[in-house]
Amino acid sequence: MPATPLPPSFPILQPRLNLYLKPLFYSISHQLSSPSLAFSCTRRFSIRRPPFSSNAKLHCGLSQATHAESPSDNASGGGRSGALSPAPLTGDVQKIDVNPPKGTRDFPPEDMRLRNWLFNNFKEVSRLYGFEEVDFPVLESEALFTRKAGEEIKDQLYCFEDRGNRRVALRPELTPSLARLVIQKGKSAPLPLKWFTVGQCWRYERMTRGRRREHYQWNMDIIGVPEVMAEAELISSIVTLFKRIGITESDVGFKVSSRKVLQEVLKCYSIPENLFGKVCVIIDKIEKIPLDEIKKELKASGVSQEAIEELLQVLSLKSLTELEERLGSSGEAVADLKQLFALAEKFGYYEWLQFDASVVRGLAYYTGIVFEGFDREGKLRAICGGGRYDRLFSTFGADDIPACGFGFGDAVIVELLKEKGLLPELGLQIENIVCALDVDLQGAAATVARILRDKGQSVDLVLENKPLKWVFKRASRINAQRLVLVGSSEWQRGMVGVKILSTGEQYEVKLDDLN
């Protein structure tokens, strides 16, 4: 039916008295009689048990007296389990520190919109490449991450002993958890597996721009494919992500090498296999500490002076042709890298790649091709990184399976988008704002909101009796597309008023026809 024009002006609501509650933070001044529990949060957490009982249940940060239930609590059977009694009020008013712990972040709405936008891009790229989503506990066994000796990650764990005397840790990365799940699934998960996850990780480390102690990471992994085609596919997915968010090959590149390069050099000098992981960790610091320090650490690890000089010369190579001249063309390292560059040309991202023999990645479980995404201007740390890890599963007592994958953190890419002026404008957008023109019509407005929500439309329902001036300001702030007004005379006729906020067009419509 044709739209019926509204009266020249809508009734104006009388402003209501706004009440404000000023938050107060009270401190507890009374002393608890039983010993308190200590909880330290540095690189390792420790819990000190009260001396009076070795088997007492521990509640971090709370004394036994705080947790004790009174007879009346037990008799009533109500309330929350473990709820605390209110602290007695004192004359002291003390504010708490409103900042999150060092190295962590809050996500207010505007930051959450950016995070969701980024994560949605992660997930959409994973979908385009046929990957399935998985996830794992944030809390894992400490042994899952410390099994590989010499990894840099060992000194960066947030780890502690739980109430069952088990050593646990907040996950610093996702790959060991992935390996655990693959082993758990066994033959019920037919190979190859193409899995991805976006998860929260924790590392106690020095913070720099784009590096935090708590961050989110996008991982994609291919399990069961030994060919270099798997690495080529993974790098292709990252390039696709970059293109989707506006990053080009002039902004970002990939440094590519192979752990087998180091293996071949060390083998020439009879360096024991058990030193390989330690050497990789040292070499990974090559752009972070002076070269003399690198030499000292390598010598302290048992590498001969002659081998160190040869190793550093090879690591300085930036051309695959030079590497082939140095190592010959018969080795696996050169063959794998040549194949990767040939595939990159077919995938269409050859110009994104550059060979850099010094790239080894810091984690000890990598075995073949490794790669890092880097900012070409050199202002930021590595954007992402990954590679092949064919011998990780035997570390956990299972048969090895060929595998490769990458990790892509959320913090560095956001810094890069800021640097390039590519952060998207992500204002709140609501389809409808619904307002009752009289306090007695708030129930009717709730009905209108329900009808629209049932049809899949977003609705911001004005929950108080507010003047129209306030409502229009609210509509502007939330970028509402239209304003639906519930007035007395219109409601009696089964109608509501509608105003299209972008054009100013306004009309009446039957409730049944409201879409």
Q: Are 368 and 260 in contact (CB under 8 A)?
A: yes
Assess whether the previous peptide bond of 192 is cis (omega < 30° from 0): yes
Angle at which helices 332-347 and 229-244 pack, to 10 degrees? 40
Give the DSSP per-residue string, 412-476: HHHHHHHHTT---------SEEEEESSGGGHHHHHHHHHHHHHTT--EEE--S---HHHHHHHHH
Residue 217 assigned ligand-binding role: yes
Residue 380 assigned ligand-binding role: no
Residue 372 assigned ligand-binding role: no
Q: Which helix (H) or strand (E) covers residue 502, if one does?
A: none
In DSSP terms, 258 is beta-bridged to 369
| Half-sphere exposure at residue 247, Cβ-oriented, CA atoms within 13 angstroms | 25
Burial of residue 424 (number of CB atoms within 10 Å: 0-12, 13-18, 19+): exposed
Q: Which residue type sits at 354?
A: Q
Residue 437 assigned ligand-binding role: no
User: Sign of the CA dihedral 38, 214, 166, 84?
Assistant: positive
Helix (H, G, I), strand (E, B) or coil at 401: coil
CA–CA distances in Å: residue 249 to residues 18, 338, 385, 413, 443: 54, 20, 16, 14, 57
Helix extents (H) in 15-108: 64-67, 71-76
Residue 361 assigned ligand-binding role: yes
Distance between CA 127 and CA 123 in Å, rounded? 6
Distance between CA 297 and CA 289 in Å, rounded? 11
The end-to-end CA distance of the chain, in Å, is 13
Reduce the secondary structure of 133-197 to three states and give it as a string.
Answer: ECCCCCEEECHHHHCCCCCHHHHHCEEEECCCCCEEEECCCCHHHHHHHHHHHHHHCCCCEEEEE
Helix extents (H) in 21-90: 64-67, 71-76
Distance between CA 273 and CA 280 in Å, rounded? 12
Binding site as annotated, residues: 173-175, 203, 217, 221, 361, 365-366
Binding site as annotated, residues for L-histidine: 173-175, 203, 217, 221, 361, 365-366
